[in-house]
Amino acid sequence: MKKLSKMFIALTCVGALLAGCGSGNTAQTQTPAPAQKPAQEQSNSGSTTKTSGEPVTAVGSTALQPLVEQAAKDFMAKNAGAQIQVQGGGSGTGLSQVASGAATIGNSDIFAEEKKGIPANELVDHKVSVVGMAAAVSPKVKVDNLTKQQLIDIFTGKITNWKEVGGDDMKITLVNRPKSSGTRATFSKFALDGKEEAEGITEDSSGTVRKIIAETPGAIGYLALSYFNDTVKALKLDGVEANAENIVTNKYPVWAYEHMYTKGEATGDAKAFLDFILTDEVQKKTVTELGFLPITDMKVERDAEGKVTQK
């Protein structure tokens, strides 16, 4: 028994020594696994920036909404974990919400200085594109051009039938935007010389305005060029077509900067998103595909008072 015990003890010691040697070899040859990137830095299509994952809300202009929505979709696809929420409501709503801190970004077709009650000095302007706006009618309306005075007379209620401007004997139905709308402010300022619009159908959404115009015989309203399709047509103004060539020189004067305001300097994901919108990827592709004009294409500049200067 004593011999067996000694043999058992000896075998146990040898095993321990072998185990210790094996452990040492493993430590020398084992390669640490690569560190996993945080989820917010990863993407199926490659990450463009580090994001915090804090929600960014962009609220306001429905004219600008299609561009911001597409840019947000593309930004989130490149930056897993980013959360960009886009809502309409009109430029006035966007400006008031960003000023109060209820939204991260306020989308607007007008300068903050143009809106009463907005502390413009607290907001930082990020101009992301330019958009033209035009009087919109159903393709069934047999009028293609209006003088500015005819347009003013229609929207102020002096002209009520299309036959008065060379069209068919058909009642004119006005489709307006609410007073909070930046599209309305721009159209009123540069197409109607600031004249007050007569009562008509009032709708907050550009998409709804387009639908009503398309489906209502004799209807006329106004839309950003980004909303025109084959269901509505844009009228020329004083013989000038609303297109990019005429807008960049101000030959066609009914256009607006598309602003994305932040309260103070943009930071975090909001800054990353705004920087993304100004990249060539968005400006030279998404912006033009959706009917907007890149800021860099403009040959003139216009300030909040409407003063135009050559670049």
pLDDT average, residue stretch 171-176: 97
- Cα separation of 182 and 127, whole Å? 14
Tell me the one-letter amino acid at 279: T
pLDDT of residue 173 exceeding 80, the answer is yes
pLDDT in tens, 275-299: 999 999 999 999 999 999 999 999 9
- Cα separation of 303 and 146, whole Å? 27
pLDDT at position 24, please?
Answer: 38
List residues bridging with 57 in a β-sheet: 85
Closest by CA to 60, choosing from 175, 179, 178, 181, is 181
Domain with CATH 3.40.190.10 in the chain: 56-131+256-310, 132-249
Give CATH superfamily name and number for 56-131+256-310.
Periplasmic binding protein-like II (3.40.190.10)
Q: Which of 3-7, 202-206, 297-301 has the lowest mean pLDDT?
A: 3-7
pLDDT at position 179, please?
Answer: 87
Question: Sign of the CA dihedral 146, 148, 151, 153?
Answer: negative
Q: Which CATH architecture has domain 132-249?
A: 3-Layer(aba) Sandwich (3.40)
pLDDT average, residue stretch 41-61: 68
Query: Can you give the C-alpha Rg of the chain in angstroms?
Result: 30
- Buried b / exposed e over 105-130, threshold 16 CB at 10 Å, is bbbbbbbbebbeebeeeebebbebbb
Helix (H) or strand (E) holding 309: strand 308-310
pLDDT of residue 161 exceeding 50, the answer is yes
pLDDT average, residue stretch 260-282: 97
pLDDT in tens, 19-48: 443 433 333 333 344 343 333 343 333 445
pLDDT at position 52, please?
Answer: 73
pLDDT average, residue stretch 138-142: 92
pLDDT of residue 1 exceeding 80, the answer is no
Closest by CA to 206, choosing from 59, 61, 57, 70, is 61
pLDDT average, residue stretch 53-69: 94
Return mean pLDDT, the chain. 87
3-state class (DSSP) for residue 83: coil
Report CA 308 to chain centroid distance, whole Å.
Answer: 24
- Cα separation of 301 and 291, whole Å? 19
